[in-house]
Amino acid sequence: MKTRITILLAALFMSFNFSFAQQDEECMNNLSIFDSYVKTKKYDDAYEPWKIVRNKCPKFNRAIYVHGEKILTHKIENSTGADQVAHINDLMLLYDQSRENFPSKYDEGEVLVDKANLAYKYREELNKTDEQLYNMFDSAYVKDAKNFTSAKGLYTYFSLAVDLFDAGKKPAQEMFDKYDDVNELIENLIAGYTTKLNTYAAKEEAGTLTKKEARYKSSYESNIEAFENQILGSMDKKLGDRANCEVLIPLYEKNYENNKNDGIWLQRAMNRMYAKGCKEDPLFLKLVQQKNSLEPSADTSYYLYLLTGEQKYFDQTLELEADPLKKARLYKKLANELKSKGSYSQARQYYMESMKLNPSDGSPYLSIAAMYAKSANNCGDSNFNKRAVFWLAALEAEKAGRVDGRLKSAAAKTAASYRASAPSKSDIFTEGNAGQTIRVGCWIGRSITVPNI
């Protein structure tokens, strides 16, 4: 059971059943006592009065479960042997009781994941096998996937699937399926946070974001960063060479006939082959064409575009994709492909389309800045004007940090490195053009004002 940041202590007490409180003064008094102890982190002193309220008045107030988790966690961390195991099992029971007595406040998936995380942390003390632990997480996924939101739990769930594969207890396909299951849950969580973030992007750029909104924005950015950079990255690292082309191609070739009419299998197979750089193999085209014949989608059209280079497939991609965040990713993905090929003008166009749909993602600004910097030597008619391109690059990089808090540090460092390559104050003095506007040519087609010195 995680203590939600939106729950304030005052709110807990406002939820008292006052008529019940009047009937049982003992529960009221002991609740007040253990609450006071918990606030000062005197968990051992809080234990006995908390037990009285928990046992006698389990529906009295949710503080029993919010504070109870802290009390029992303290007990677990400060005990050993049989006493520690008893406290662990008691916390497991408390998780169940929280949902039993306050079902509207504790989702089934949340409770099951909290129990699984606890069991995994103390797996040696509880003598839990990897199979038993995996089944605990799997129960949460099967029963209430939408409330399986624990970053730690999602990674552990997948990690155990890999360990069971390594032990010969799960086939490769099941391990890959679990990667996709967890990856889809994480993508949905990221999409939810991103949608919320986008409501703040314009305010951030305009400087009208309130302190409260800034806190929410920071929280959403932290969650996205945790899932994108830590959990997904750790999952890919854990999977490692178990999912390279040498493994995937024979596996999918072997299973193709049995699954060629299964849209989900085809989608996951082609996605994994693309992600692992196997798109040059004939099997990738075979998968894409088969999926496209069964269920044409934005993904299949995009892959056909990459394979054939035919514009009609990319137009079809955008036509079929209705989700703005997915469409933004498609634009960015295409822009990345074009950037890698040196088609900078087209890449910039698609990066800008991506930002219109997902304004809280600052990474396209960094990509545009990098293209400017790389083109500096080709987009100026003098040494000074060539180096002036780095001012443009710095300005683009700084935009990334303004709209996307996750990139603030990286954007600042990148912008500083570009400015270091731009003309110095002495260069501006020698040139005598402070405050003048320079038109940058070639594909960039932008203007930059020389700083005043």
Phi-psi region of 422 (alpha: psi -120 to 50; beta: other; left: phi over 0): beta
pLDDT in tens, 88-106: 999 999 999 999 999 999 9
Average pLDDT of the residues in 213-234: 91
Q: What's the whole-number mean pLDDT along residues 356-369? A: 96
Q: What is the pLDDT of residues 396-434, one digit of tens each?
A: 999 999 888 889 999 999 999 999 999 999 999 988 889
Task: Tell me which residue of 2, 5, 27 sits closest to 13, measured CA to CA.
Answer: 27
Separation CA 30–CA 418 (nearest Å): 63
171 CB neighbour count, 10 Å cutoff:
12
Domain chopping of the chain, boundaries: 1-106, 343-453
User: How high is the pLDDT of residue 21?
Assistant: 45
pLDDT of 19 above 70: no
Contact 147, 108 (CB under 8 A): yes
The whole-model pTM stands at 0.79
Residue 7: pLDDT over 60: no
Averaged pLDDT score across all residues of the chain = 91
104-127 residue pLDDT tens: 999 999 999 999 999 999 999 999
Is the Cβ–Cβ distance between 69 and 96 less than 8 Å?
no
Residue 439 has pLDDT above 60, yes or no: yes
Confidence bin at 381 (pLDDT 50/70/90): confident
How many Å separate Cα 241 from the centre of its chain?
23
Q: Which pLDDT score, from 0 to 100, does residue 15 have?
A: 46
Identify the band that residue 256 occupies on the pLDDT scale cut at 50, 70 and 90: very high
Give the pLDDT confidence of 22-49 residue by residue, as tens digits: 448 889 999 999 999 999 999 999 999 9
Provide CB contacts within 8 A for 175, sequence distance 6+.
161, 162, 164, 165, 239, 242
Q: What is the pLDDT of residues 304-342, one digit of tens each?
A: 988 888 888 988 988 999 899 999 998 998 899 899 999
Hey, what long-range contacts does 414-421 have (CB within 8 A, 24 or more apart)?
Answer: 414/366, 414/369, 415/369, 418/369, 418/373, 418/390, 418/391, 418/393, 418/394, 419/390, 419/391, 419/394, 421/373, 421/376, 421/387, 421/390
Residues 196, 220 contacting (CB under 8 angstroms): yes
pLDDT tens for each residue of 52-78: 999 999 999 999 999 999 999 999 999
φ and ψ at 383, to 5 degrees?
Answer: -60, -40
Quickly tell me which residue has 């053009």 as its tokens. Answer: 433
